Structure 1
Amino acid sequence: MTIHCQAWAMAQTGGADVLHKVPIELPQPGAGQVLIRVAAAGFNPVDTKIRAGLAAIAPESGVLGCDVSGYIEAVGEGVSAFSPGDAVYGCAGGVKGHYGALAEYMIADAALLAPAPVGMPLEECAALPVAAITAYAALERLQLQAGERLFVVGASGAVGLMMTQIARQQGLLIEGSAGNKDRIRQVEAYGGRGWLHSECAQLVAQGERFNKVLDTFGGAGLQTALELAAPYAQVATINARNQYDLSQAHAKALTLHAIFILLPLLRQENMAAHGDCLRTLTAGIEAGELKGLPLQRYGMSDVAALHSRYESGTLTNKAIMLPDF
């Protein structure tokens, strides 16, 4: 039986005005899939890149939204981890080969999901998956060990704050940069030592260097990360879509990691690792060792305005969108 519902979708690539409310049809969940009644969709910068055509990975339905939280409505063949009524969250779609979260209902692979943390409002869980999975991926790629120092360029954003608190939980010493003193206080509230972006050049001039560095910006942020890296250091970035001067990477024999957590969805492989990351996150939140992110709530009808706010640089916190069809 076909499921009829409302969604926000892009009819084509372009500006924020290509996003429109449309009726869509969803199939019943297939083998390994579940049907989610969406409580909230998380906004991520990659949504704007897909919409603008800068990342050619748009879902066939045109419905964006990687991050979702909601309730299981139905399960497909072979799904035993979840039952109807379960509260779940995950980075579960919004790219080619998957449905998106900007809808009343969403079909998702069960492997990508985890039980939502008890005690956290379900809609707030939609702010976490991409940021948290990215942080866990960077921890693994950088081979971070308890007692090591890590510098995060852009520590007050969603990925930066998740990285700061997860790394602190695992016994690392975290320092990172932020754009103003209020955001430095956020970094410190999550367990890190904060510096202004403008102070990074001073750190470099003073000879301060780090063996592990994470860049959450790309562009000038990655260049800053390369400058802060010690010889033979490891540097990870979540945005390598640009042309860069890698002379410092060569001169210091750096190892550079590109973090792109949507690749398992696009390749339809190792998707269970995403669910495993979120189960670890859920356990940390329920134990009181980790917490959610500062966020702003919108309705899904605000999606075009939200894209415009991000692209104009006026979106200051993580955003979630609630169904308001």
Structure 2
Amino acid sequence: MRAIVYSETGPSDVLRLEERPVPEPGPGEVRVRVVVSAVNPTDWKNRSGGGAAAAAEQTPNQDGAGVVDAVGSGVTAFTPGDRVWSFLSAHQRPGGTAQEFTVLPVERVVPLPDGASFDVGASMGVPAMTAHRALTVHESGPARLAPGALDGRTVLVAGGAGAVGHAAIQLAHWAGATVITTISSDAKAELARAAGADVVVNYRTDDAADRIREAAPDGVDLVVEVSPARNAGLNSRVLANHGSIAVYANDGGDEVTLDVRGHFAINARYQFLLLYTVGQDALSAAAEDITAALSDGALGVGEENGLPLTRFPLERTAEAHDAVEQGTVGKVLIDVAPDAG
């Protein structure tokens, strides 16, 4: 099989296309013929040495979608031919999705509903599961998402044109929330609206706090936050009493300054989250709820759904990593199998 591998961390040119034996699934494992692989920021960061260094030959990319090809002993949830999406494929394992076949623990493989494309399935994983966790940490909010679960709630999504922001808008909308999002340009505003945002605020041209308060006079219940260092002041001005701020990234800096008295007054909660250490219960809940949303057609991708797709063939995986590192808007996908698309 064709596989992208690297044996040392560094720039994208450490990635190389090689022929490797098709791996065999062991007990409790599933072999997936990968159709589409997706690139996340953590993929290029790990490859560059920003995450765990490569101890041995590694195939990158956490997320993907394809078809079950074989199952190991003890696996009853899947049979060959099942369409699936996968997550954390390269976390603490050498075999990511940038290869024609990958072997995964059954817990990291999820059924892909018939109406969902491989592009959609590959675009879930890290972004959608992070968004799910962020939307379920409010102290009096739901632990699971479904239609109606967020009725009456107002959610503020910082950076609604990013992959996690896009998924958060779609999931919150599906669950019944009023969704406000901040963006930095008219083009990104159109993407956020296409994803389902009810109110779009350009923080570069608007008074963001005033606009958000106009839409949510009593404040927002939950913030899905990509840039806590930059947005701490804004969040304190728009958060409702007992509101929560779910932080999933450190864009804009690693240190946050908070007005302690102001946060006391509104009983604010900061919840930090990292998908890689959040635990299996949270991952399983997210996978189940995301699959339900996929069945409902609530998680579309492509520019018409607010998430432009940029594609590369497998042999150009290095360029795909560079595209994500350089901030390409939308989702970067890699066509692995001939019938990808």
- After TM superposition, the score normalised by the length of structure 1 is 0.86
* Amino acid in structure 2 at the alignment position of 1:216: V
- Alpha-carbon offset, residue 27 of structure 1: 4.0
The number of aligned residues is: 314
In structure 1, C-alpha distance between the alignment counterparts of 2:10 and 2:68, rounded to whole Å: 33
Q: 1:21 aligns with which of 10, 17, 28?
A: 17
Structure 1's 232 and 97: CA in aligned 2 closer, same or farther, altered over 3 A? same
Q: Is the 2:33–2:102 contact (alpha carbons within 8 Å) kept by the matching residues of 1?
A: yes
Q: Is the 1:58–1:95 contact (alpha carbons within 8 Å) kept by the matching residues of 2?
A: no
In structure 2, C-alpha distance between the alignment counterparts of 1:289 and 1:123, rounded to whole Å: 14
Q: 2:190 aligns with which of 176, 185, 188?
A: 185
Uncovered stretches (5+) of structure 1, i.e. residues with no partner: none
Q: Is the 1:240–1:258 contact (alpha carbons within 8 Å) kept by the matching residues of 2?
A: no
Partner of 1:212: 222
In structure 1, C-alpha distance between the alignment counterparts of 2:256 and 2:227, rounded to whole Å: 16
Partner of 1:146: 151
SS of 2:259's equivalent in the other structure is helix
Q: Is the 1:213–1:228 contact (alpha carbons within 8 Å) kept by the matching residues of 2?
A: no
Structure 1's 324 and 122: CA in aligned 2 closer, same or farther, altered over 3 A? closer
Partner of 1:70: 66
RMSD (Å), alpha carbons:
2.7
Matched ranges for 1:102-113 at <5 A: 102-113=98-109
Partner of 1:162: 167
Matched ranges for 1:35-184 at <5 A: 35-56=31-52, 58=54, 60-143=56-139, 144=141, 145-184=150-189
Q: Is the 2:23–2:101 contact (alpha carbons within 8 Å) kept by the matching residues of 1?
A: no
In structure 1, C-alpha distance between the alignment counterparts of 2:119 and 2:171, rounded to whole Å: 21
Q: Does 1:298 align with 2:298?
A: no
Uncovered stretches (5+) of structure 2, i.e. residues with no partner: 142-149, 214-218
- Alpha-carbon offset, residue 172 of structure 1: 1.0
Q: 2:294 aligns with which of 263, 280, 285?
A: 285
Q: Is the 1:40–1:70 contact (alpha carbons within 8 Å) kept by the matching residues of 2?
A: yes
Partner of 1:323: 336
Structure 1's 25 and 187: CA in aligned 2 closer, same or farther, altered over 3 A? same
SS of 1:239's equivalent in the other structure is coil
SS of 2:316's equivalent in the other structure is helix
- Alpha-carbon offset, residue 287 of structure 1: 2.5
168-177 vs 274-283, which moves further:
274-283
Structure 1's 217 and 22: CA in aligned 2 closer, same or farther, altered over 3 A? farther
The sequence identity of aligned pairs, in percent, is: 23
SS of 1:198's equivalent in the other structure is coil
Structure 1's 80 and 276: CA in aligned 2 closer, same or farther, altered over 3 A? farther
